[in-house]
Amino acid sequence: MIVEFNNAYLQKIFEGKQTAGKPRYNQEVILKFKKTVLMLKNTESIKELRKFRGLNFEALKADYKGYYSVRVDYHYRLILSVEKDSVVITDVLIIEDLTNHYQ
């Protein structure tokens, strides 16, 4: 699947580039985030993504209606939006944010 970033900070973290200021996430969360993004990239489609029960892929409601989330760990969720590529029917996941689910 194609994965794009709508959040420059998360893109820098994923690519291993330096970020300015105090880190927003600890090293353990960053490693789990990278692992989750790689799993998303290696998945063929949204239908296949739903098979990974540990990710808990789900549509969101209320303020996040139209977005989806996957579990990074017990506390953090990756917020995603989904687009269709018109040239070849491919799901394009766009990473919007990494949030603390229970805050």
Specify the pairing of strand 2-5 against strand 68-71: unpaired
pTM: 0.85
- Which residues sit opposite 59 in a β-bridge? 68
38-52: average pLDDT: 87
CATH code of 23's domain? 3.30.2310.20
The 10s digit of each residue's pLDDT in 56-91 is 998 989 888 888 889 999 899 999 988 876 554 556
How many structural domains compose the chain? 1
Note down the domain range covering 55: 2-100
Identify residue 1 by its one-letter amino acid code.
Answer: M
Cα gap 33→49, rounded to integer Å: 16
